[in-house]
Structure 1
Amino acid sequence: MSTASMPSFTNLDDLVRLVDDRRDIYVRWSRGPDPDLRSASSTDDLTGVRLPGLSASALGVEDWWEERPARLWIARRLYDYCHLPRLKDPLTRPWALRGREVGRGPDNEPLVVDVEPLAWIGDDVITEAVDLVERQPGPWGTLDRHRMRQ
């Protein structure tokens, strides 16, 4: 599926329904499937090492999450990397994909192959996820390393 014809999620609940009890759904933050599928791998920013798949974040709910809301789990997974468009590249966008995990990257992120693009994750979904996470008790934060160094 090319970027031009890919649908978009416009609310968090639709994404939650897609993930349901699946373990093969991921979110990737990049310029999109077209450039990613041409290269079929990510590169470690620190060392320049080519990785054996695309780095992504698993959206499937882990067993230890127990009966807590899947909606909050998925919101947190989106929240963790929502800083990337600001930090790396303003053309970076989140998109959902189905894939097969083949290893772990240097940040312990899943590396996936046999990628099937599913849909863009729209700005409204990210806004909804950020709002939900920021209403939770406790000091949550994104995985923005630059913010941590300041």
Structure 2
Amino acid sequence: MSAIRSLDELAGLMADRKGLYVRWSLGPEADLPAVASRDDLTGVCLPGLSASSLDVEPWWGGRPLRLWAARRLYDYAHLPHVKDPRVRPWLLTGEENGRGPDNEPLVGEVEPVGWIDRAVIDEATREIGRQRGRWGPLDRSPREDREHPA
């Protein structure tokens, strides 16, 4: 599988097509045999892979796709620290089968597009750091255990 190596490359893909998702996991080889996620809290098997949509919402207006992509990546960049250091983001397309317990899309009929290189996550973190607002990752680990992306 090829790799997306910059935030600009990812934004370009987003401009060219709708229906892209980011999944943080061990990758397609681990996910595609079952095409299901499991809710960490309850253990319930979910009808699709938990993913984050990269489709831009209308309220975003003409703001940069690069910043939208940075936000979407940064929100979950803590997962390798919380779940497993081998967890990486990858890009996919598919059909939404429903919503998970955090209102995240559950994607089936998955087609992998490419890995998202660590350099893109680092770039996204820097982009978020330049913003005036206060954004943080969607990290639910206890405060004393939190490790935020560097």
* TM bucket, shorter chain: over 0.9
What residue number does 2:58 align with? 63
Structure 1 pair 149–57 and aligned structure 2 pair: CA distance change class (3 A): farther
Structure 2 distance, partners of 1:146, 1:49, is 20
Instruction: Say if 2:113 is the partner of 1:118.
Output: yes
Q: What's the RMSD between the two structures over aligned residues?
A: 1.3
Amino acid paired to 2:116: I
In the alignment of these two chains, the number of paired residues is 145
Structure 1 pair 39–66 and aligned structure 2 pair: CA distance change class (3 A): same
Report Cα offsets for 1:64-123 as digits up to 9, x if no partner.
101111110011000000000011100100000011111110011000011000100001
- Structural mapping, 1:65-80, within 5 Å: 65-80=60-75
Structure 1 distance, partners of 2:15, 2:109, is 20
What residue number does 1:3 align with? none
Alignment partner of 1:20: what SS?
helix
Instruction: Say if 2:101 is the partner of 1:106.
Output: yes
What residue number does 1:36 align with? 31
Instruction: Say if 2:126 is the partner of 1:131.
Output: yes
Alignment partner of 1:38: what SS?
coil
Show structure 1 runs of 5+ residues with no match: 1-5
Q: Which runs of 4+ in 1 moved over 4 A?
A: 147-150
Alignment partner of 1:40: what SS?
coil
Q: How far is 1:147 from its partner?
A: 5.2
Show structure 2 runs of 5+ residues with no match: 146-150
| TM-score, normalised with respect to structure 1 | 0.93
| TM-score, normalised with respect to structure 2 | 0.93
